[in-house]
């Protein structure tokens, strides 16, 4: 049984009572979504906890199956025992409900808005925080390498940001694509960049990896370089640097 | 044998060869520093990896004892086998050297600079990122509750920020103390605050916990309220929100 075979609202296929065994095949289907490969193979993502699940439903994600230990609050969910929910979850204190949802069709980033381009940002917490900031500051997101933005950790860190912005993943970095489409490409760099982003136009803001920053060719090829002015120490956490840059852009947009 | 009894430059007390047993008492002394209680009882902190250790030495921290699996690069350190270093470290891939250093005397925050006041910020990664940003944006730090800023995780996330700013911990939040000393207290809030901080003066910027923000009495008692303007979703990661607020202040200081 694959998760995609369990239809959420089909009472015929529902178990008769709560699932109490962690050996139930549904448990394995959920735990497979803890890993990038399981998510990729199934096209599903794992969303955990009532707040994120409610946001996902409101955003129109297709829920394949929901499991909950609180059937009163989640009547459409398959009822599972606490320990089964714990096994299905990635958190140490599982929270009421987990769902397997179809990873949303990526709407593309063709709309007329600024873009945050994450190049090899490796930490899922940073990726999540940047998605949250992008949603808050009106940026779409392009992922190039780095952590899976749909991992449970990134979803948690984004606190619903996924459902309030657009996101495209995959491919390699090709600045000419942005230039052809009229974007002003701006590379965030630790030194020797300008302190501000020119107002107006449509900006593609490039943020590089925690360990190495942006690749040299991205820095060379970008139309502008931005350095957040600092005193004392020059380097900032990647999520902070990208967020401050987006703030600076939003402030002067 | 307590770590504090091992004198770094005393060759008489050095072991004759590398420590190869994870049962050596020095291992236990280092692992005790993984936990808040061990750090509090000994007054020592654990600093890991060549970059942070070099920064700590340069900042003048008193190193009680250093252990390294690379004696060529760390001739003053006690030589230990890789697996001993791994046990002494908190990272999954231990990195060449770990030291037990005296938690620096807290210089107080009496100097004439802005202060970041962290109230119950619970995630050590957020605390570390905020320390890093404070160092970069010229803020001293006051910790009120929340995560131990000297935990290995916070030290890692701060990437040396500890050694480039001042920090005081402990006590409860007392806004009148700041007001008496001439600070303008500014509460960061998710909504209904002003978008900027008045220029000039000396600011105490209050940032609250990830889950609950600032306590109501802190919001009521502060002289100003700051809300970072957002669109779409209003809430930001705590480290991002505090950092953007510090950036905004540094920009107009």
DSSP character string of B8-61: TT-GGGS-SS-B--TTSHHHHHHHHTTSHHHHHHHTEEEEESHHHHHHHHHTTP
Cross-chain Cβ contact B239/A244 below 8 Å: no
**Which of A240, A246, A249, A251 best tests the B interface by mutation, with the highest count of B CBs <10 A?**
A240
Q: Is B202 inside a domain boundary?
A: yes
Supply the pLDDT for residue A231. Answer: 87
Band (B76; pLDDT cuts 50, 70, 90): confident
Cross-chain Cβ contact A237/B137 below 8 Å: no
Q: Is A121 inside a domain boundary?
A: yes
Q: Residue A141: which CATH number?
A: 3.40.1280.10
Q: Which of A28-32, A44-48, A140-144, B101-105 has the lowest mean pLDDT?
A: B101-105
Supply the pLDDT for residue B11. Answer: 43
B198 and B82 in a common domain: no
Using DSSP's 3-state secondary structure scheme, residue A167 falls into strand
Domain count across chain A: 2
Contact between A99 and A74 under an 8 Å Cβ cutoff? The reply is: no
Cross-chain Cβ contact B240/A133 below 8 Å: yes
Considering only CB atoms, which chain B residues are within 8 Å of A235?
132, 136, 159
Domain end residue (candidates: B102, B137, B157):
B102
Task: Share the mean pLDDT of chain A.
Answer: 90
User: Which of B164, B236, B250 has the CB atom closest to A132's CB atom?
Assistant: B236
Cross-chain Cβ contact A234/B136 below 8 Å: yes
Is the pLDDT at A12 greater than 50, yes or no?
Answer: no
How far is the first Cα of chain B from the last one, in angstroms, to the nearest whole number? 51
Considering only CB atoms, which chain A residues are within 8 Å of B247?
228, 244, 247-248
A226 and A138 in a common domain: yes
Is the pLDDT at A11 greater than 50, yes or no?
Answer: no
Q: Give the model confidence (pLDDT) of B44-58 as tens digits.
A: 999 999 999 999 999
What does the block give as tokens for B95? 């990195």
User: Which of A159, A228, A248 has the CB atom closest to B235's CB atom?
Assistant: A159
Is B1 exposed, middle or buried (CB count within 10 Å of its CB: 0-12, 13-18, 19+)?
Answer: exposed
Residue A199: partners with Cβ closer than 8 Å, 6 or more residues away: A252, A253
B121 and B79 in a common domain: no
How far off is chain B from A133, nearest CA to CA, in Å? 6
Q: Is B200 inside a domain boundary?
A: yes
Considering only CB atoms, which chain A residues are within 8 Å of B125?
125
How far off is chain B from A160, nearest CA to CA, in Å? 8
Cross-chain Cβ contact B247/A248 below 8 Å: yes
Band (A184; pLDDT cuts 50, 70, 90): very high
A124 and A96 in a common domain: no
A154 and A238 in a common domain: yes
For residues B245 and B145, what is the distance between their CA atoms, to the nearest angstrom?
20
How far off is chain B from A206, nearest CA to CA, in Å? 18
Cross-chain Cβ contact A236/B164 below 8 Å: no
Cross-chain Cβ contact A239/B240 below 8 Å: yes
Considering only CB atoms, which chain A residues are within 8 Å of B248?
247
Considering only CB atoms, which chain B residues are within 8 Å of A138?
231-232
Query: Average pLDDT for residues B126-144, to the nearest whole number?
Result: 96
Band (B8; pLDDT cuts 50, 70, 90): very low
Query: Average pLDDT for residues B218-231, to the nearest whole number?
Result: 96
**Could you count the other beta carbons within 10 Å of the beta carbon of residue B164?**
19
In percent, how much of chain B has pLDDT > 70? Answer: 92
B93 and B123 in a common domain: no
Q: Is B241 inside a domain boundary?
A: yes
What does the block give as tokens for A116? 């945050």
Supply the pLDDT for residue A93. Answer: 85
For residues B97 and B95, what is the distance between their CA atoms, to the nearest angstrom?
6
Alpha-carbon dihedral B15, B17, B20, B21, rounded to 10 degrees: -30
ipTM, two decimals, is 0.89
Q: Is B107 inside a domain boundary?
A: no
Cross-chain Cβ contact B231/A133 below 8 Å: no
Residue identified by tokens 């370089």 is A225
Q: What share of chain B is helix, strand, coil (3-state, %, to 5)?
A: 35, 20, 45
Q: Give the model confidence (pLDDT) of A63-109 as tens digits.
A: 999 999 998 999 889 999 999 999 999 998 888 999 999 998 776 66
Is the pLDDT at A121 greater than 60, yes or no?
Answer: yes
Supply the pLDDT for residue A10. Answer: 45
Domain end residue (candidates: A102, A125, A155):
A102
Q: Is B164 inside a domain boundary?
A: yes
In percent, how much of chain A has pLDDT > 90? Answer: 79
Supply the pLDDT for residue B9. Answer: 39
For residues B119 and B207, what is the distance between their CA atoms, to the nearest angstrom?
6
Considering only CB atoms, which chain B residues are within 8 Å of A232?
135-136, 138, 164-165
Rounded to two decimals, the pTM is: 0.90
Q: Is A107 inside a domain boundary?
A: no
Supply the pLDDT for residue B149. Answer: 96
Is the pLDDT at B153 greater than 70, yes or no?
Answer: yes
Higher confidence at residue B76 or residue A49?
A49
B89 and B201 in a common domain: no
Band (A216; pLDDT cuts 50, 70, 90): very high
Query: Average pLDDT for residues A16-32, to the nearest whole number?
Result: 91
**Enclosing domain of residue B184:** 114-252
A131 and A234 in a common domain: yes
Q: Give the model confidence (pLDDT) of B12-40 as tens digits.
A: 456 678 999 999 999 999 999 999 999 99
Contact between B237 and A133 under an 8 Å Cβ cutoff? The reply is: yes
Query: Average pLDDT for residues B73-79, to the nearest whole number?
Result: 91
Contact between A162 and A149 under an 8 Å Cβ cutoff? The reply is: yes
Is the pLDDT at A219 greater than 90, yes or no?
Answer: yes
Q: Is A109 inside a domain boundary?
A: no
Band (A234; pLDDT cuts 50, 70, 90): confident
For residues A173 and A187, what is the distance between their CA atoms, to the nearest angstrom?
12
How far off is chain B from A4, nearest CA to CA, in Å? 31
Query: Average pLDDT for residues A136-150, to the nearest whole number?
Result: 95
B143 and B95 in a common domain: no
Considering only CB atoms, which chain B residues are within 8 Å of A137?
230-231
For residues A235 and A214, what is the distance between their CA atoms, to the nearest angstrom?
13
Q: Residue B94: which CATH number?
A: 3.30.1330.30
Cross-chain Cβ contact A233/B135 below 8 Å: yes
Supply the pLDDT for residue A92. Answer: 82
Task: Please state whether beta strands B78-79 and A224-226 pair in parallel, antiparallel, or not at all (unpaired).
Answer: unpaired
B210 and B93 in a common domain: no
Domain end residue (candidates: B39, B70, B102):
B102
B82 and B126 in a common domain: no
B158 and B52 in a common domain: no
Considering only CB atoms, which chain B residues are within 8 Å of A159?
233, 235, 237
What does the block give as tokens for B233? 């979703």
Supply the pLDDT for residue A145. Answer: 96
For residues A244 and B106, what is the distance between their CA atoms, to the nearest angstrom?
29
Our CA angle for A86, A92, A95, nearest 5°, is 60
Chain A / chain B CB contacts < 8 angstroms: 100
For residues A197 and A59, what is the distance between their CA atoms, to the nearest angstrom?
32
Is the pLDDT at B107 greater than 60, yes or no?
Answer: yes
């Amino acid at each position: 049984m694959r998760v995609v075979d369990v239809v959420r609202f089909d009472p015929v296929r529902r178990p008769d009572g709560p699932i109490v065994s962690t050996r139930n095949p549904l448990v394995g289907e959920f735990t497979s979504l803890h890993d990038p490969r399981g998510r990729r193979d199934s096209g599903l993502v794992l969303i955990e906890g009532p707040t994120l699940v409610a946001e996902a439903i409101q955003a129109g994600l297709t829920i394949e199956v929901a499991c909950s230990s609180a059937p009163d609050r989640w009547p459409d969910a398959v009822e599972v025992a606490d320990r089964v929910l714990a096994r299905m979850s990635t958190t140490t204190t599982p929270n009421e409900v987990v769902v397997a949802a179809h990873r949303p069709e990526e709407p593309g980033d063709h709309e007329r808005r600024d873009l945050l381009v994450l190049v090899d940002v490796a930490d899922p917490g940073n990726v999540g925080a940047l998605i949250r900031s992008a949603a808050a500051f009106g940026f779409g997101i392009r992922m190039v390498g780095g952590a899976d933005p749909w991992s449970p950790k990134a979803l948690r860190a984004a606190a619903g940001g996924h459902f309030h912005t657009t996101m495209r993943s995959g491919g390699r970095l090709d600045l000419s694509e942005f230039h052809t489409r009229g974007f002003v490409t701006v590379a965030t760099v630790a030194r020797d960049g300008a302190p501000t982003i020119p107002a107006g136009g449509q900006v593609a803001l490039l943020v590089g990896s925690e360990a190495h920053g942006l690749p040299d060719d991205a820095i060379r090829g970008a139309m502008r370089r931005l350095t957040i002015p600092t005193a004392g120490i020059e380097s900032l956490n990647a999520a902070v640097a990208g967020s401050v840059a987006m703030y600076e852009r939003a402030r002067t947009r």
